[in-house]
Chains A and B, each alone.
Chain A
Amino acid sequence: MREALTADDRVFLMGEDVGKYGGAFGVSLGLLEEFGPERIRDTPLSEAAFVGAGIGAAIAGLRPIVEVMTVNFSLLALDQVLNNAATLLHMSGGQVSVPIVLRMTTGAGRQLAAQHSHSLEGWYAHIPGIRVLAPATPADARDMLAPALADPDPVVIFEHGSLYNTSSDLSATHHRRADIFSAAVRRQGDDVSLITYGGSLPKALAAADRLAADRVSAEVIDLRSLRPLDDATIMASVRHTNHVVVVDEGWRTGSLAAEISARICEQAFYELDAPVERVCSAEVPIPYARHMEEAALPSTGNIVRAALRTVGRNG
């Protein structure tokens, strides 16, 4: 964000506690001191109001980065996103584009209980007119921002809460702009494709390690862009491995995993050598108790078992 704020003075950050507090998760620590209160703006606790204000600023020519503390609270601003940001270009006959970037934390796994543990990426990915990104690596989290700001249409970036404390040395990739439309093959394999995104990527990679010990070679696909989905990469992987496990922290019914599974059946049916497996969250409000929360969420063990089932090993 620092790079974006430096590179373009139309860019500003707005959200609850992004200034003095440095962001609920410390994402914007130090930015207020560096860029001043004009461009690092603390807002009142009203998601509908400040997301709406961001949309207005975007229409007026600025490049707002609006931080909604978590996806759980973004529901209050969903009307602004769905009925304004996503539709204005269409309803104005192409005259008004909304170049806003909405960042929000998503996901469970930190004992925050049912109201603070949603994974609603699939809801946003359902909406035509916006682009939905889910960086799963520090490099993507940084490199996706510039192209997201450059996109003339609304972009929603989901940052999984469990990934904030991952780090990597980015000097090697300095000044690299990531694309915001393709999926990435994070690990190559021959026997089964683990298709996932965001906070589930580390679990899938860990599962791939454990599968390798069982002599099952797993390929791990990081979707990166949840809307639009990169069908080509998904299908190429399915054609190669013929077995698929989709890992999605959202609830199973009507999930992104369901959409991906349907697309695979539509586009690569004759490549399938087993039913598509889905590893999703249990269809319950996410529990507070640690052991119950862990049981409700996709786990490395679940992914390994699903992968073994699909390649026809014990299960």
Chain B
Amino acid sequence: MGEFRMPALGADMEQGTLTEWLVHPGDHVSKGDPVAVIETAKSDIEVECFEDGVVSALLAEPGTVLPVGAPLALITSEAETGAVPPVADERAVSRSGEPTASPEPPVAPDILEPAPPPADTVTSPLVRHLAQDKHVDLATVRGTGRGGRITRHDVERAAAPPVRIRATPMARRLASEAGIDLAAVTGTGDAGAVRGADVRGWAAAHPAPDGRREAADHVPKAATAAPHRATSGPATDGPGARDQRRETMRSAIAALMARSQREIPHYYLSRTVDLARAMAWLNAHNRDCPVSRRLLPACLLLKAAARGAREVPELNGHWADGRFHPADTVRLGVAIAVRGGGLVAPVLVDADEDTLPHLMSRLKDLANRARTGRLKSSETGAPTITVTSIGDRGADAVYGVIHPPQVALVGFGAIQDRPCAVDGLLGIRPTVIATLAGDHRASDGATGARYLAAVERLLQQPEEL
């Protein structure tokens, strides 16, 4: 009896989400068969099992997040079930190339019964199930996997041969840049071919909520509106969808930041905060915790920033229609740098009331998903104050640009040991420079100073955060 456990799919992986089972209880599995799809922070990965046997129980539901090492399934070896060990047989088969029946299913015979593997190919249980579901005869499928193995893709292709969509190269490029399915677009070209104008027309008629399609709108507009030669530049030089997305993000940031500098009279304050107590408390806390539950200093800083915003409500809210609208709750925006450039500022709702461990896990989750571009819509709406913490990149202090319509942006620099005066002596203490960029229309320097003082005071009592 063996346990199939959540594998570590990378040195930095602490947990994974089981998204799909590729086997059913009763399936025979061989070493190397893919049995489950695990979603990590980076991508979906098909996980292979490490032993031969029969799946006797699935212990986790798809959708659950599990730490590395958590048992996912029980796999019973053939000897334990008393079935004929099939491994040797299968090997013999693949070597001799002669047809043979699949090993007798030890349990749940109805599941396996109609799917004998074809003569000289090795198939995974998943593939056999899929073939059965889609009524595909595996003997007729040409395998494109390793060693001619039939993959899931092969079966899907056999079940539904792809329909070639007639589309011009330009239409294909526009559609792929804008993430549009060409099959949805009605072609007006020769023999129904989809042309560039059809894709643009479709994009105009179906504005996307996620901003991704703005790219598609953007290209044709530039191409027709810009002066003649300028359009042969980067916009139409065929950047991939990823570049396009990055470009879209860049132009969104550009518009927002330019608006901020144009409209908001910023004032800046800074305060050096002694973190000796906070770091000591954090170290003590982390000593008793498994790695997965350890807290990072950023968590303390965010919590303090959120609590500070509750104490100084003059900075927590939005500027609209020529006056300040305070917010009822603290929706803490967290600026997160995105791989390859750009940043997003998703929201931690009620960060001021959350416990530190929970806030930490939310923060990790949020950062991971922000970087893979899979934020929920509830996490992208209207923060009331934003924190940017650029310290891990080594800057001492950050004087930020306020994200309109918010009226304040809190910045934390690197936590560093610095010389400072302690009780009349020169001491070396871990410190952080906290900064505040304030909207002078909504508040004055005194308010900002009160806020930074509150943040400093909160960070001196980490146990109460």
Contacts and interface: CB of A to CB of B under 8 A. Distances in A.
Interface stretch (A55-63, A143-151, A235-243): A235-243
B228 A270 contact: no
A262 interface: no
A76 interface: no
B331 interface: no
A272 B236 contact: no
Interface string A230-248: 0000011001101000000
Contact of A274 (B173, B189, B229): B189
Given A239-B231, A242-B170, A312-B189, A271 B224 contact: no
Contact of B170 (A190, A236, A270, A312): A270
A270 B238 contact: yes
A188 interface: yes
B228 A272 contact: no
Interface in B223-247: 223-224, 228-229, 231-232, 236-238
A269 interface: yes
A109 B99 CA distance: 74
B272 interface: no
A273 B229 contact: no
A240 B188 CA distance: 21
A272 B224 contact: no
A284 B104 CA distance: 75
Tell which of A190, A236, A270 has the most Cβ of chain B within 10 Å: A270
Contact of B236 (A271, A274, A312): A271
B223 A271 contact: no
Interface in A272-306: 272-274
Interface string B174-212: 000000000000001110000111000000000000000
B171 interface: yes
Contacts of A271: 169-170, 173, 236, 238
A191 to B, nearest CB: 10
A269 B169 contact: yes
Contacts of B171: 273
Given A312-B188, A312-B189, A312-B195, A273 B232 contact: no
Contact of B196 (A235, A236, A240, A242): A242
A273 B196 contact: yes
A273 B231 contact: no
Contact of B232 (A239, A270, A272): A239
Given A270-B172, A312-B188, A188 B228 contact: yes
Contacts of B190: 274, 312
B168 interface: yes
B231 to A, nearest CB: 6
Contacts of B229: 236, 240
A240 B190 CA distance: 21
A235 B238 CA distance: 13
A236 B230 CA distance: 10
Contacts of B169: 269-273
A236 B231 CA distance: 9
B315 to A, nearest CB: 49
Contacts of B236: 239, 271
B168 A273 contact: yes
A273 B228 contact: no
Interface of A: 188, 190, 235-236, 239-240, 242, 269-274, 312
Q: Which 7 residue pairs across A and B have the least CB separation, nearest first?
A: A273-B170, A273-B196, A236-B232, A270-B173, A273-B168, A239-B232, A270-B169
28 contacts: A190-B224, A236-B229, A236-B232, A239-B231, A239-B232, A239-B237, A240-B223, A240-B229, A240-B232, A242-B170, A242-B196, A269-B169, A270-B169, A270-B172, A270-B173, A270-B238, A271-B169, A271-B170, A271-B238, A272-B168, A273-B170, A273-B171, A273-B195, A273-B197, A274-B168, A274-B189, A312-B188, A312-B190
Given A188-B228, A240-B231, A273-B171, 7 more contacts: A240-B229, A272-B169, A273-B169, A273-B197, A274-B168, A312-B188, A312-B195
